[in-house]
Amino acid sequence: MPSSNFQSHKLSWISLACDSVISVNFNPMPGTLLGVYNDVKDTKEMEYLVQHYRLDAETTKGKIALADEWLAKSIKRDSLPAQIWQKIIYQIITE
């Protein structure tokens, strides 16, 4: 049975590979980003992003930009929720 250290490295490698594929190949469609925005719009992090980037969360353009920023930060921190990953993967495989 592999050690937990091995499992940790394996998961890190998988995460790194997914991050690389997404950062190179993933160009989220506006509909996907609006869906992501709607999923996370009531979080404290989204409140921070609205204030920090001074984006208008009342406009479609602002929502898309906020969702894009939220995704980038979540991927960097390796904290993207499973349901969001599923939306991203679905978009990638159905393009």
Q: Which amino acid is at 61?
A: K
Q: Residue 89: phi, psi to the nearest 5?
A: -60, -40
Angle at 43 between CA 20 and CA 95, to 5 degrees: 35
Q: Percentage of the chain surpassing pLDDT 70?
A: 68
Q: Is the pLDDT of residue 84 over 90?
A: no
Mean pLDDT, to the nearest integer, of 39-59?
94
pLDDT of residue 24: 46
pLDDT of residue 44: 95
Q: Is the pLDDT of residue 31 over 70?
A: yes
Distances, alpha carbon 26 to alpha carbons 20, 72, 87, in Å: 9, 11, 12
